[in-house]
Amino acid sequence: MSRYWSLVCAVTVYLSSFGIASAACDANVWREYAGIKLWKFAGSDAYFYATPQMDIDADGAPNAYHPKDIGIDALGNAGFPNGGWKNVLVVDPDDPSRPFVQTSGDFAGYFVSKTSLQDKTLPATDPSRYVDARVVSYIVFPGAFFAIKGTGDYGDFAVVRNLSNDKQSSAIVADGGPQNAPLGEVSVGLAESLGGSHVNPRNGAGKPRGTFVYLIFPKSKANPAWPIAQGQMDQQAGNRLAALGGWERIMACVQ
């Protein structure tokens, strides 16, 4: 957690002690998705939800997938070789029937895995074009959820908190998941920021436990939406959290 983000969290908690913490919930249920209530405050595009569900995404990591299945994630999770892999792996421009294999760098021999959020100034075959799941705290939107008007876009900022240990992190919406998947899929980086240790995308080992509160800020993405430095992500999410009244206002609705 950056120094800026730690300061923002401390200030919002301090300010909320002057009355907000004891207030009743003043948000309304905006809609439901797969049994999860989405809450909104009047006059705000931001919304939040709570879920104990957590699945791990490795997409965007340069060592996510390997032809010999020795990557940090299983090839089956990329849909390879049975089908659907073109949504996850970069196609070889010289042979569209197979994924592109990195030819140089620390992860030569690995496939290039994609994220929906991308730096479009770089070639499709450059792993740096995508959001590295190992180090960036990002959120995955199921296809059906992404299609709902008002849920946000790739590049929008978010804040996530683990109620079991009070660890929290800024985040960015960076990838799309299966059409009807539940909410709660996150990058390795976000899972570890929320208390996980040596999180394994293959089987979920090491991921944190608890109930996780996600606060999403639609219409907040920068231009360009990616790349974004961690400090900018912290600042953007932290400022928006503070403007809503801090965590205490949200906790009145989820506890």
Average confidence (pLDDT) over 201-224: 97
Predicted confidence at residue 227, as pLDDT, reads 98
Beta bridge partners of 48: 39, 215
Taking the model in full, what pTM does it have?
Answer: 0.90
Query: In this model, does residue 147 exceed pLDDT 90?
Result: yes
Name the DSSP class of 175: E
Q: Which own/partner contact pairs does 222-227 have at CB distance under 8 Å and 24+ positions apart?
A: 222/155, 224/119, 224/120, 224/121, 225/117, 225/153, 225/154, 225/155, 226/117, 226/118, 226/119, 226/131, 226/155, 226/172, 226/174, 227/119
3-state DSSP of 187-223: EHHHHHHCCCCCCCCCCCCCCCCCCEEEEEECCCCCC
Average confidence (pLDDT) over 149-166: 98
Predicted confidence at residue 184, as pLDDT, reads 98
The per-residue pLDDT of the chain, averaged, comes to 92
Give the model confidence (pLDDT) of 4-13 as tens digits: 545 445 444 4
Give the model confidence (pLDDT) of 79-117 as tens digits: 999 889 999 999 999 999 999 999 999 999 999 999 999
Predicted confidence at residue 2, as pLDDT, reads 55
Give the model confidence (pLDDT) of 226-235 as tens digits: 999 999 999 9
